[in-house]
Structure 1
Amino acid sequence: MPDECSAFVPGHITGFFSTHPDDDPTRAGSRGAGLTLTDGVTTTVSPARESSIELDGSRVEIDPVERVLDALSVTARVEAVSSVPIGAGFGVSGAMALGTAYAANQVFDCRLSANELVTVAHGAEVQAGTGLGDVVAQARGGIPIRLEPGGPAHGRLDEIPTRVRVEYHSFGELSTESVLAGDTDRLDEAGRLALSRVVKEPTLTSFMFASRRFAREAGLLTDDVKRAVEAVATAGGQAAMAMLGNTVFALGTGLTDAGYDPSICATHPAGAMIE
């Protein structure tokens, strides 16, 4: 067994979603669509007498990661480095949960399959209330469409078959837990309509239109993001809000053309992987 192992998990921007609770966390989750990114989170796992978690060099408590370690019955030092903003709609907690599962499987010779590891990480994130669909999307990569909620045994995915440059700019954090814990009826209806549009026309143009409309109809659009989306549109580009974060993302050179100084990456061609 190796002394340590690292796994890379792409960041994930959700354009729209609807929630689907279930007493079984492997069946619970969300429908929706998003982009996985070449920017993401690298998580390194090594054996330890007591478990600890670090993110970008700081000691942290991240419930989904702790749940993954408990589910695998291991104690480990988990060290993560993120190239995407924290708490801003990039699926960092899901990336750390999935990266921990992949790396721990190698270090501790757990002998679990990819689907089993995704199920563990997805269930951990759902139970923690920090996300509903990031893990399954991050495991797949590309531009995934989540047609049915849940982990690999129950969920169903499709994909918009293309790759594109992505620009993003974060104005700060939004609490995923507070949104998911509130009344989601308005959000869920907007998410169902958005998914219907993209399933009917699985293109980037349709995805961006559906994402912008979802943010407005769900009542989640912030003033900062609204101004940025309008500026990108004026410059001839397409932009939308990352769910759930005070973050704008655009395709191509949209944010640059609108006068912003964005971070630049691309959609990730594959999902989570051992490094």
Structure 2
Amino acid sequence: MTDVAQAFVPGHVTGFFTSDHDPDPTKAGSRGCGIALSEGVTVTVRPADEVSVELNGEPITMGAVERVLDALKAPAAVSATTDLPLGAGFGVSGAMALGTALATNAAFDRRLSRNELVTVAHGAEVQAGTGLGDVVAQANGGVTVRLEPGGPQDNALDRIPARGRVEYHVIDDLATDGVLDGDTTALTTAGKKALSDVVGEPTLDRFMRASREFARESELLTARVRDVILDVNEAGGTATMAMLGETVIALGTGLTDAGYDPDVCQIHPAGATLEP
């Protein structure tokens, strides 16, 4: 056991996804595709007398993190910092769950493998209702294509080989559980179509087009996001909606060229890592 351990987990924006249910939360999840971001979440874990969770210095209730600590039988103080907004489609809850798993394993000398820790974090987030596929993508990095749902023991992953600049413009947040707890039939149908398109043409351009089509066909596209996407398109760029958040992501300088003042990051090629 060490006094403290720290992990960095990239943010993740999902372009499209399915909702795949299973009684075992480690087998449930989603198929889809998304981009890992150089902006992410740094999670610090310290052994403590009782569990506490903070985000950017403020106490927060985070069911996925608490489930990870319970699974690892680790009373700990978890402190996370990030510049990414919570609830806007950047996978912050998944990052906190995965970062907690990695750092707790080190701080408490649990001696679990990476796949075991990803499975714990993935199952915890599915049970908490805050995400279906962020954790496995954040563990993998890059532009991950999730071909099958579930944790590492069940899923199948591929990647679109790509690097580059990503801009984002946050309008508002969306309640993830409100979408995932509802009827996801149309959403899953649209997600399967988008996945088939990207598997047939695994490029960033096809990913963006498939994501826009998914946002429209799943009826998740909001009027405000649509208007920003149209502005980017008219300026010659390409943009789509981050799932699940009222957030627009664009490649290159798409949002800047359209007259917006976006936040800027890069595609992050690596997955989550322990910090020295």
Which SS does the other structure have where 1:30 is aligned? Answer: coil
Q: Distance in 2 between matches of 1:247 and 1:239?
A: 10
Which SS does the other structure have where 1:169 is aligned? Answer: strand
Q: Distance in 2 between matches of 1:268 and 1:134?
A: 14
Q: Distance in 1 between matches of 2:81 and 2:229?
A: 29
Structure-2 residue corresponding to 1:185: 185
Deviation at residue 30 of structure 1 after TM alignment: 0.1
TM normalised by structure 1 equals 0.99
Q: Distance in 1 between matches of 2:245 and 2:82?
A: 16
Deviations 1:57-93 (A, max 9, x none): 1101100000000000010000000121110000000
Structure-2 residue corresponding to 1:117: 117
Q: Distance in 2 between matches of 1:183 and 1:84?
A: 29
Q: Distance in 1 between matches of 2:48 and 2:146?
A: 36
Q: Distance in 2 between matches of 1:80 and 1:172?
A: 22
Which SS does the other structure have where 2:221 is aligned? Answer: coil
**Matched AA of 1:205:** D
Structure-2 residue corresponding to 1:24: 24
Structure-2 residue corresponding to 1:171: 171
Which SS does the other structure have where 2:245 is aligned? Answer: coil
Structure 1 residue 195 corresponds to structure 2 residue 195: yes
Structure-1 residue corresponding to 2:141: 141
Deviation at residue 162 of structure 1 after TM alignment: 1.1
Deviation at residue 13 of structure 1 after TM alignment: 0.2
Alignment map for 1:92-241 (pairs within 5 Å) = 92-241=92-241
Structure-2 residue corresponding to 1:273: 273
Which SS does the other structure have where 1:174 is aligned? Answer: coil
Gaps of 5+ in 2: none
Structure-2 residue corresponding to 1:245: 245
**Matched AA of 1:242:** A
Q: Distance in 1 between matches of 2:74 and 2:234?
A: 53
Q: Distance in 2 between matches of 1:168 and 1:40?
A: 14
Structure-1 residue corresponding to 2:85: 85
TM normalised by structure 2 equals 0.99
Q: Distance in 1 between matches of 2:136 and 2:202?
A: 19
Gaps of 5+ in 1: none
Deviation at residue 2 of structure 1 after TM alignment: 2.2
**Matched AA of 2:88:** A
RMSD over aligned Cα, in angstroms? 0.5
Q: Distance in 1 between matches of 2:59 and 2:85?
A: 17
**Matched AA of 1:200:** G
Q: Distance in 2 between matches of 1:73 and 1:156?
A: 29
Q: Distance in 2 between matches of 1:75 and 1:172?
A: 34
Q: Distance in 1 between matches of 2:162 and 2:18?
A: 24
Q: Distance in 1 between matches of 2:87 and 2:246?
A: 9
Which SS does the other structure have where 1:249 is aligned? Answer: strand
Structure 1 segments of 4+ aligned residues over 3 angstroms from their partners = none
Q: Distance in 1 between matches of 2:104 and 2:254?
A: 39
Deviation at residue 224 of structure 1 after TM alignment: 1.4
Which SS does the other structure have where 2:19 is aligned? Answer: strand
